[in-house]
């Protein structure tokens, strides 16, 4: 039996406009329609691909979802996933709230204005390349690379949901992340000068412990007295401060098992922390500085932080990490270290 003109196997191609073709085909008993721009040969090629995808189970139904719509769906999906900060959650590829906020910011600020209105199924690797070229004119290389990584994950999820057949990011030219910013490196004399310059500052103990141990700011601010062993001269790192717009200020587990660690500390830091703990004991017991009393009879409540943000009332209240950074930068600038960041000075990596 002769094939009807205009038909391709189980499908057909009809002209729908200038350089526009309507594909009609049937897969699994269902009828589908798709509009293709370009030459008729390209339309025929796409129809053959669609029919073949139906044979091997990779068919993706035509869909008008835009990139913006899918980005918002993807972010909402990640928000609904529980226990992102647990080890099991990380093994499943879940992200914590702060990371998710960063993902949303990267996509909404850099991708949506340029490609957001384009239908998901019509985005090509060339569109992605053009996006990177435009971003590279105004954004840092590392930012563009982060956009590439997050957009790739977003569209990979769209493939899994069968909204698109392939990930266009995979076919684009990956932008270079540029050189890593290793910050300012201080020698031993400069480090000693810096720490000494913070004496008398409210963040002096925090700077001292950072310089002595290499701990991150948010790890230090989440330390509790139960994490310190005066006998073993160790500090155990098991959490960090995290602040998000949705959940406010809280703590999270380390991202990796390597982040959960025990650090040996020297006598100088032991002495400083002993003085800090004595100050806390006096606050809890209502004993003024200088008064002679046996503090061994005083017990600190559970959850008391080494460096709380609620002096005088709530010693379990987390401190504002950004305020610590601002105080550090201001003092460091006065000490002759104008470009120094909080995480730059340390004796350990």
Q: What is the pLDDT of residues 290-302, one digit of tens each?
A: 667 667 777 888 8
- Per-residue pLDDT, 344: 72
- Per-residue pLDDT, 112: 95
Collapsed DSSP state (helix, strand, coil) of residue 12: strand
- Per-residue pLDDT, 64: 77
Place of tokens 């990796």: 256
Q: Is 316 exposed, middle or buried (0-12, 13-18, 19+ CB in 10 A)?
A: middle
Interior CA angle at 239 toward 279 and 186, to 5°?
75
- Per-residue pLDDT, 3: 39
Tell me where in the chain the CATH 1.10.150.130 domain(s) lie.
67-171
- 105: closest CA among 139, 58, 137, 136? 139
Phi-psi region of 281 (alpha: psi -120 to 50; beta: other; left: phi over 0): alpha
Strands (E), the chain: 7-8, 11-17, 20-27, 30-37, 228-229, 234-237, 240-244, 248-252, 261-264
- Per-residue pLDDT, 87: 53
- Per-residue pLDDT, 1: 37
- 177: closest CA among 224, 128, 136, 126? 136
125 - beta bridge partners?
none
- Per-residue pLDDT, 127: 93
Quote the CATH superfamily of domain 188-334: Intergrase catalytic core (1.10.443.10)
Rounded to two decimals, the pTM is 0.58
**DSSP assignment letter at 186:** P
Ranges of the chain whose pLDDT falls below 50: 1-8, 84, 348-349
Question: What's the CATH fold of domain 67-171?
Answer: DNA polymerase; domain 1 (1.10.150)
Tell me where in the chain the CATH 1.10.443.10 domain(s) lie.
188-334
- Per-residue pLDDT, 302: 81
- Per-residue pLDDT, 4: 43
pLDDT tens-digit readout, 194-240: 999 999 999 999 999 999 988 899 999 999 999 999 999 999 999 99
Helix (H) or strand (E) holding 182: none
């Amino acid at each position: 039996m002769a094939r009807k003109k205009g038909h391709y196997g189980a499908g057909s191609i009809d002209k729908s406009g200038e350089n526009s073709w309507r594909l009609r085909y049937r897969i699994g008993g269902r009828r589908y329609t798709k509009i293709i721009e370009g030459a008729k040969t390209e339309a025929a090629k796409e129809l053959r691909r669609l029919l073949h995808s139906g044979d091997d189970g990779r068919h993706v139904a035509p869909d008008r979802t835009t990139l913006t719509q899918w980005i918002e769906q993807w972010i909402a999906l990640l928000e609904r996933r529980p226990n992102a900060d647990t080890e099991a959650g990380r093994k499943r590829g879940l992200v914590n709230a702060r990371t998710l906020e960063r993902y949303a910011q990267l996509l909404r600020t850099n991708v949506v204005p340029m490609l957001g209105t384009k239908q998901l199924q019509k985005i090509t690797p060339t569109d992605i390349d053009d996006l990177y070229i435009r971003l590279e004119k105004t954004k840092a290389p590392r930012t563009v690379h982060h956009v590439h990584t997050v957009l790739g994950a977003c569209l990979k999820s769209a493939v899994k949901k069968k909204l698109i057949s392939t990930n266009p990011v995979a076919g684009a030219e990956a932008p270079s992340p540029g050189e890593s910013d290793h910050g300012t490196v201080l020698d031993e004399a400069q480090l000693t000068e810096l720490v000494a310059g913070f004496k008398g500052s409210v963040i002096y103990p925090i700077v001292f412990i950072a310089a002595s141990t290499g701990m991150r700011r948010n790890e230090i601010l989440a330390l509790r007295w139960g994490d310190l062993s005066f006998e073993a001269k160790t500090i155990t790192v098991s959490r960090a401060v995290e602040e998000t717009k949705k959940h406010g200020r809280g703590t999270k587990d380390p991202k990796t098992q390597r982040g959960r660690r025990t650090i040996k500390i020297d006598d100088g830091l032991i002495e400083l922390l002993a003085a800090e703990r004595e100050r806390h004991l006096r606050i809890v017991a209502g004993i003024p500085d200088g008064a002679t009393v046996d503090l061994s009879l005083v017990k600190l409540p559970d959850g008391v932080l080494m460096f709380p943000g609620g002096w005088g009332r709530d010693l379990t209240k987390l401190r504002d990490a950004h305020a610590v950074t601002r105080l550090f930068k201001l003092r460091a600038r006065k000490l002759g270290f104008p470009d120094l960041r909080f995480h730059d000075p340390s004796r350990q990596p």
